[in-house]
Amino acid sequence: MAELGTLDQLPADYLDDLEARNLVPLWPNLRSVMPYEKPARKSQPVLWRYRDIRPLLLKAGELTPIEKAERRVLSLANPGLGLENMMATPSIYIGMQLILPGESAPCHKHTPAAVRCVVEGSGGFTTVEGEKCPMEKGDLILTPSGTWHEHGHQGADPVVWMDALDMPLVYYLESSYCIDGESQPLRNVPDASQTRYRRAGLVPYASLGKARAPYPLYRYPWTEVRQALRALEADTAADGIVWLAYVNPETGGECLPTLGLSTVMLRPGETARPVRRSASAVVHVIEGEGESLIDGVEIAWEEDDTFAVPTHADLSLTNRSTARPAYLLVVDDAPIQRKLAFYEEFPPG
């Protein structure tokens, strides 16, 4: 490895001339932006406990009416990236959103793509492009970039969901903005997860031979995903990971261009060691309790907790229960890394 020159080896008048012309010498800074072997990381393995978040979120419901909040959300911020930046990882924003009975969050659309995973409550819904999507625990609902969406609550108890957005990436590109809209007229039919895309491997015949819809399915019901994981378990070797990807049912590709969505089932007492990946991730616990080792940092998690996994991190996932499975939602930035052609997986050792 070549030894690079440093700033203090350059004459002060030369540095002044560079600064006056908005120039910076690369070589003294090269290893800070392009280190050998592994990237420089500020992200930390972080655990956000839902039992700590929930009372503060309910307090927010008392302190701030929905009309003054528009979206009543507590952001899960990674301290290594600066709390003020509201980033769970460099490319993933995570928030916990609360809606109370009878409330509605107004219709808008924005450039960041968003995913909702329901944490608790019943009776909430999200309307995406006129399609009303019920929200039950574990359900995944997409609101892709540029789609009109709004939220409502017709139940009796608070509803909370986790928001995952590619907002840090879009904001970094100076492209993050929002447009308000009128409330959407509802289609008088169930959402597509209950009609057009109820079974894997089956799509409406009319879609054959036509341009594929970019987002034909907005809602992925947890009850059906859970059943699919249990079915996959029977066909997964003891040393394999029961792991399903959420995909576009018409193309088989990833749901969103920037965020990857998948779900892992940990069998009772199981420890899974996913291959080390270049992608960063946020893991949300839908059911169960366990512990993880992330680059040597131990994290003990329980139902509804959320934790961050930095890029290139060594990761293990352990189900502490010897009687019940644990179910995890994984949100990562692998899709954008694939598009930029630097996504990698690294063999053990």
Could you report the per-residue pLDDT of 212-230, keeping only the tens digit for each?
A: 889 999 999 999 999 999 9
Higher pLDDT, 206 or 289: 289
Whether domain 40-346 has CATH 2.60.120.10: the reply is yes
pLDDT at 264: 98
**Domain segments of the chain: what residues?**
40-346
Positive or negative, the CA dihedral 144, 216, 138, 135 is positive
What does pLDDT average to over the chain? 96
Residue 349 pLDDT? 64
Q: Which residues does 1 contact at the CB level (< 8 Å), separation at least 6?
A: 36
Q: By the 8 A CB rule, do 143 and 191 touch?
A: no
pLDDT value of position 213: 84
**pLDDT mean over 190-209:** 92
Query: What percentage of the chain carries pLDDT values higher than 70?
Result: 99
pLDDT digits (tens, 9 = 90+) for 45-65: 999 999 999 999 999 999 999
Mean pLDDT of 135-161: 97
Predicted local confidence at residue 81, as pLDDT: 98
Give the list of residues 6+ apart from residue 295 with CB closer than 8 angstroms, or none: 45, 310, 313, 314
Residue 4: pLDDT band with limits 50, 70, 90? confident
Cβ proximity of 331 and 260 under 8 Å: yes
Average pLDDT over residues 71-82: 97
* pLDDT score recorded for residue 347: 82
> DSSP secondary-structure letter at 247?
B
* Least trusted range by pLDDT, from 195-204, 264-273, 283-292: 195-204
User: How much of the chain exceeds pLDDT 90, in percent?
Assistant: 92
pLDDT of residue 1: 64
**Rounded mean pLDDT, 70-83:** 97
109 contacts: CB under 8 Å, gap ≥ 6: 146, 147, 148, 149, 178, 179, 181
Surface-to-core class of residue 290, CB atoms within 10 Å of its CB (0-12 exposed, 13-18 middle, 19+ buried):
buried
Calculate Rg over the CA atoms of the chain. Answer: 22
The pLDDT assigned to 348 comes to: 74
Give the amino acid at 174: E
pLDDT of residue 228: 97
For residue 212, the model assigns a pLDDT of 83
The average pLDDT across 222-247 equals: 97
Which of 142, 279, 308 minimizes the C-alpha distance to 221? 142
